[in-house]
Amino acid sequence: MASRAQPISGVQAIGGVFILLVVLMILGPLIAVVLRAEGFAGLRPSDWAAIRFTLVQAALSAGVSCLAAIPVARALARRRFRGRGAYVALMGAPFILPVIVAVLGLLAVFGRAGWLNAALIGIGAGTIEIYGLFGVVLAHVFLNLPLATRLLLQAWLAIPAERVRLAHALNFDGRATRRHFEWPLLRATLPGAALVIFLICTTSFAVALILGGGPSATTVELAIYQAFRFDFDLGRAALLGVIQVAICVAAGLLAWRLAGTSGFGGGLDRPAMAWPGDTRTAGLWDIAALVVAGLFIVVPLVAVTADGIGAIVGLPASTWQAALRSIFVALGSTVLSVTLALPIALLIAGRAARAGLEGVGLLSIAVSPLVIGTGLFLIVFPVADPIALSLPITGVVNALVALPFLLRALIPAATEAEATQGRLADALGLHGTARLRHAILPRLRRPLGFGAGLAAAFSMGDLGVIALFSAPGQETLPLEMYRLFGSYRTNDAQGAAVLLMALSLGLFWLFDRGGRVNASL
Amino acid sequence: MRSTIIAAGMIAMVGAAHAQDTPVLTVYTYDSFVADWGPGPAIEEAFEATCGCDLQFVGAGDGAAVLSRLRLEGERSEADIVLGLDTNLTAAAVEAGLMAEHNIMANDLTLPVVWTDPNFLPFDWGYFAFVHRADMENVPSTFGELAASDIRIVIQDPRSSTPGLGLVMWVQHVYGDGAAEIWEGLADNVVTVTPGWSEAYGLFLEDEADMVLSYTTSPAYHLIAEEDAGFAAAEFDEGHYLQIEVAGLLNTADDVDLAGRFLTFMLTPVFQEVIPTTNWMYPAALAPEALPDGFNTLTVPDVALIYSAEEAAAIRDEALATWQAALSR
């Protein structure tokens, strides 16, 4: 492979430059904080406890999310039913919910005064307590199960129809299907999906603290927050930031070791319909998986919506302005994120060290937003007014944070496209943009739409660094929502949350739909 | 009236003539102060009507975030005034060399304690208190009673929230060396700890807890803004810790005279009357008769407790460690 000419080398060279750029933009702020700090003060015992707790809860959350996603993704891949598109789209909602809203939604179901406990008391079965490690994992699964499901589903749908038809011809039973299709597919996809979710959970702060039930649920991110805000100890904050990066790198290496390749070969880009070895029992299992996961995701969302929908009409004008501003920021960072991701994905596709390179992209979810924000502030402040740049900086940071999700969606598809269409394209002498347009991009459309949708929704809902850079008249919708919550205006805040959810979902749906035109998903 | 119109007209003319070089007064404050429904907009309008200047509020997170921001900016900061630190943060601001003395005599303060700080002037204050639904039975009147009960409370993390730190200081002030014991007793009452006030109050409103750490003035919001008399604050016999929110002149102020005028303006009724129904705190220099209707229904504790800024800074870390150890079990 190394000896083969790189047919779209221009784009790939750009990808290389972008990777460097991304590394600079992520590690630069961290270095700025390190330089500003007057020496490393060393860690306290409580910091070690925080590191331990962070690793345990993130590993559990990632593991449970991915395991739970298997039956759901499998069911979605195998079944066709009315409203399937809506089901898939709705599955994207929790991921983009602001933390406080997601927590309130979960508590409406699982909390002390929640529906579940009301039902349990009704049948005289006592009550359950959500707070603790269980609550943390439950919340992280709620937030990340949809992402895990979508990532696995992409892999299922990438299996060429020809293979499935061959399996039918060979009369595959359930066991053979698992062995020849599902196991290789999971082997190739699960480690990457688990890694992304693990990293998202390592920077969890508010969810872990609130549902963890007390200071024993302190994560590294909270320790960083304390170092910055409570002690103003930049050295310790930077050291903890470096530890987050180290955790990210270690987890990336582990996932890379575990990941296999699926190697299904090429096909004619038609999605598979019926699967071999499908029995009546399997069908019932699929229905059960879809119903349970659907209820788990939808009921808290219904609670959130019911609380806030009535307040939307009466929202203050400033909230609507903030919403408009957020849409622009989200669109801007989506464009930037896609521009960065596409060349990087093409560069990484088919490279032996691709997990390592993709790890670079993952850094941005593993590094504390507070560290990035502070570092950027330190870099920008001497040369320009950070307040004047508050929205562009927010857009750029959101693009960086969304980058890993785009890469995760694009890289397998790009690898696949190059593997299946590459030789034909070579034979036809397709180079540069022509190759990109005819051979590669058509196969990237679906993941590109999905990834761009995710990036837009994520950017819409992310508080990111705006809090540190906020300026009068520059508030984004999440910031506005937090201000409403902070001024007793809980109901308006819940209304703003529903608006935020609707806009994020709308953006996600638009992009995702754009990628799926003429496709069966 | 006529003189006001003339004055306004003159200011407008002066303003037009010097549009380019209108002095700018930059005030760093916390987020909710500058929100549309916060005190910021009304105060900005009132001050700009008389100062011939451009008053710019910059919201930068909560009080602790404002202080970090100023420390990060250091000498090059554009800020003239910091508004919204509380007395648990002021010692750090002085120690970081950010503050200049205000040299303003504040004789008409309406705080329940004496104020002598040369670097800061208070603009509002409140008593920390546990807020509950008015129909709650067996409302505790001491921390001991609360610890012995099965009442469920939600509190804020002192590492990330000023009310959370206020509670730790409150328990420390009342119990001293016995604080650890009280916290161990309270541990099974604490439903959970939230990063900030908003999450805790949200959890309380969703009935996740019977009581939430907030202020004695919180029921006034529900009463006045929502016409809901269904909330009350528990009065504790041991006294209530105070939060005093202050403003101060920064070393980086360009126009010390203008900044001084703002601090003086801060203690006049025009500014102070905005506070009760926007910040939902007691104004620091306004006679009780001038408070809006509804504030007279609030619980007023007999005893007000507070550490000086220096004491607060000295005991903070140990009090935090006590809290953390007791609640981590």
pLDDT tens-digit readout, A450-505: 888 888 888 887 766 666 666 667 788 888 888 888 888 888 999 998 999 889 88
CA distance A94 to A98: 9
User: Of the ranges A365-369, B117-121, B311-315, which one carries the lowest mean pLDDT score?
Assistant: A365-369
* pLDDT tens track for B211-236: 999 999 999 999 999 999 999 999 99
CA distance A170 to A181: 13
SS3 string of A38-106? Answer: CCCCCCCHHHHHHHHHHHHHHHHHHHHHHHHHHHHHHHHHHCCCCCHHHHHHHCCHHHHCCHHHHHHHH
Q: Alpha helix locations (H) across B23-123?
A: 31-34, 40-51, 63-73, 90-95
* pLDDT tens track for A219-231: 898 888 888 888 8
Residue A203: pLDDT above 80? yes
Question: Is the minimum CB–CB distance between A19 and chain B shorter than 8 Å?
Answer: no
Q: Is A100's CB within 8 Å of B72's CB?
A: no
Residues of each domain in chain B carrying CATH 3.40.190.10: 2-125+243-292, 126-242+296-327
Q: Which residues contact B178 (CB under 8 A, 6 or more apart)?
A: none
Q: How confident is the model at residue B17 (pLDDT cuts 50, 70, 90)?
A: very low
Question: What value does the mean pLDDT take over residues B100-113?
Answer: 92
CA A325 to mean position of chain CA atoms = 23
Q: How confident is the model at residue A266 (pLDDT cuts 50, 70, 90)?
A: low
User: Of the ranges A127-136, A250-259, A463-472, which one carries the lowest mean pLDDT score?
Assistant: A463-472
Question: Is the minimum CB–CB distance between B184 and chain A shorter than 8 Å?
Answer: no
Topology adopted by domain A42-305: MetI-like fold (1.10.3720)
Question: What value does the mean pLDDT take over residues A73-90?
Answer: 84
Beta bridge partners of residue A120, listed in sequence order: none
Q: Alpha helix locations (H) across B77-142?
A: 90-95
Q: Is B198's CB within 8 Å of A472's CB?
A: no
Query: At residue B329, what is the residue type?
Result: R
> Cβ contacts (< 8 Å) between A487 and chain B: which residues?
32, 35, 37-38, 280
CA distance B284 to B271: 10
Question: Is the minimum CB–CB distance between B72 and chain A shorter than 8 Å?
Answer: yes
- The pLDDT assigned to A61 comes to 96
Residue A175: pLDDT above 50? yes
Average pLDDT value over all residues in chain A: 81
Query: At residue A251, what is the residue type?
Result: A
* CA angle A507–A154–A433, rounded 5-degree value: 75
Tokens of A263: 């190697």
Per-domain boundaries in chain A: 9-39+312-521, 42-305
> Cβ contacts (< 8 Å) between B280 and chain A: which residues?
487-488
Tokens of A120: 């349990």
Architecture of domain B126-242+296-327: 3-Layer(aba) Sandwich (3.40)
CA distance A34 to A467: 21
Q: Is B218's CB within 8 Å of A482's CB?
A: no
Question: Is the minimum CB–CB distance between B24 and chain A shorter than 8 Å?
Answer: no
Pairing state between β B54-59 and B24-29: parallel
- The pLDDT assigned to A474 comes to 78
Domain A9-39+312-521 matching CATH 1.10.3720.10: the answer reads: yes
* pLDDT tens track for A385-438: 777 787 888 888 888 888 888 887 787 777 777 777 777 777 777 776 777 777
Question: Is the minimum CB–CB distance between A98 and chain B shorter than 8 Å?
Answer: no
* pLDDT tens track for A44-66: 888 888 999 999 999 999 999 99
Q: How confident is the model at residue A153 (pLDDT cuts 50, 70, 90)?
A: confident
- The pLDDT assigned to B16 comes to 45
Beta bridge partners of residue B131, listed in sequence order: B212, B233
3-state secondary structure of A231: coil
A121 φ, ψ (degrees, to nearest 5): -65, -40
Tokens of A331: 């669109």
- On the 0-12 / 13-18 / 19+ scale of CB atoms within 10 A, A468 is buried
- The pLDDT assigned to A466 comes to 64
CA distance A200 to A102: 15
Residue B174: CB atoms within 10 A of its CB come to: 21
Let me know: does B230 contact B126? Beta carbons within 8 Å.
Answer: no
Let me know: does A106 contact A186? Beta carbons within 8 Å.
Answer: no
Residue A162: CB atoms within 10 A of its CB come to: 15
Q: How confident is the model at residue B10 (pLDDT cuts 50, 70, 90)?
A: very low
User: Of the ranges A23-27, A136-140, A489-493, B117-121, which one carries the lowest mean pLDDT score?
Assistant: A23-27
**Helix (H) / strand (E) containing B23:** none
Residue B204: pLDDT above 70? yes
Which is higher by pLDDT, B125 or A154? Answer: B125
Q: Give residue for tokens 């309130």.
A: A104
CA distance A106 to A142: 8
Which is higher by pLDDT, A296 or A395? Answer: A296
DSSP state of B288: G
Please state whether A432 falls in left (phi above 0), alpha (psi between -120 and 50) or beta. left
> Cβ contacts (< 8 Å) between A205 and chain B: which residues?
195
Residue B304: pLDDT above 60? yes
Question: What value does the mean pLDDT take over residues B14-38?
Answer: 77
> Cβ contacts (< 8 Å) between A216 and chain B: which residues?
327-329
Chain B window 186-225: which residues touch A at a Cβ cutoff of 8 Å? 187, 190-199, 201-203, 205-209, 218, 221-222, 225
> Cβ contacts (< 8 Å) between A489 and chain B: which residues?
37
> Cβ contacts (< 8 Å) between A482 and chain B: which residues?
31, 198
Question: What value does the mean pLDDT take over residues A185-209?
Answer: 86
- The pLDDT assigned to A25 comes to 82
- Helix B256-266, helix B40-51: angle, nearest 10: 130
- The pLDDT assigned to A353 comes to 52
Architecture of domain B2-125+243-292: 3-Layer(aba) Sandwich (3.40)
- The pLDDT assigned to A415 comes to 76
Chain A window 291-330: which residues touch B at a Cβ cutoff of 8 Å? 316-318
The structure's pTM equals 0.86
Let me know: does B164 contact B190? Beta carbons within 8 Å.
Answer: no
Residue B273: pLDDT above 80? yes
Q: Which residues contact B264 (CB under 8 A, 6 or more apart)?
A: B104
- The pLDDT assigned to A323 comes to 93
Residue A187: pLDDT above 70? yes
> Cβ contacts (< 8 Å) between A209 and chain B: which residues?
157, 192-195
Chain B interface disruption, residue of A35, A203, A210, most B CBs within 10 A: A210
Residue B2: pLDDT above 50? no
- Report the gap between the CA of A114 and the closest CA in chain B (Å): 8
- The pLDDT assigned to B227 comes to 94
Q: Is A210's CB within 8 Å of B68's CB?
A: no
Closest CA in chain A for residue B35? A483
3-state secondary structure of B139: coil
Q: Alpha helix locations (H) across A158-182?
A: 161-169, 174-177
Chain A window 465-484: which residues touch B at a Cβ cutoff of 8 Å? 467-468, 470-472, 479, 482-484
- The pLDDT assigned to A425 comes to 76
**Helix (H) / strand (E) containing B112:** none
- Report the gap between the CA of B121 and the closest CA in chain A (Å): 22
- The pLDDT assigned to A372 comes to 82
Q: How confident is the model at residue A164 (pLDDT cuts 50, 70, 90)?
A: confident
CA distances (Å), origin A174, targets A75, A177, A179, A278, A341: 14, 5, 9, 7, 38
Query: At residue A405, what is the residue type?
Result: F
- The pLDDT assigned to A1 comes to 40
- The pLDDT assigned to A268 comes to 52
Which is higher by pLDDT, B246 or A171? Answer: B246
Closest CA in chain B for residue A211? B192
Which is higher by pLDDT, A490 or B183? Answer: B183
Q: A–B: how many Cβ contacts below 8 A?
A: 151
CA distance A393 to A382: 15
Let me know: does B217 contact B197? Beta carbons within 8 Å.
Answer: no
Chain A window 234-293: which residues touch B at a Cβ cutoff of 8 Å? none
Residue A78: pLDDT above 90? no
What percentage of chain B reaches a pLDDT higher than 90? 79
- The pLDDT assigned to A358 comes to 67
Q: Comparing C-alpha atoms, which of B104, B122, B128, B100 is closest to residue B309?
A: B122
- The pLDDT assigned to A467 comes to 63
Task: Determine the straight-line distance between the first and last CA of chain B, rounded to whole angstroms.
Answer: 66
Closest CA in chain B for residue A387? B58
Question: Is the minimum CB–CB distance between A37 and chain B shorter than 8 Å?
Answer: no
What percentage of chain A reaches a pLDDT higher than 90? 15
Q: Is B198's CB within 8 Å of A232's CB?
A: no
- Report the gap between the CA of A473 and the closest CA in chain B (Å): 9
Q: A84-99 as b/e, with b when 16 or more CB fall inside 10 Å?
A: eeebbbbbbbbbbbbb
CA distance A486 to A478: 12
Q: Max Cα separation, chain B?
A: 69
CA distance B303 to A341: 61
Residue A239: pLDDT above 60? yes
Q: How confident is the model at residue B35 (pLDDT cuts 50, 70, 90)?
A: confident
CA distances (Å), origin A458, targets A363, A390, A450, A453, A500: 16, 18, 12, 8, 11
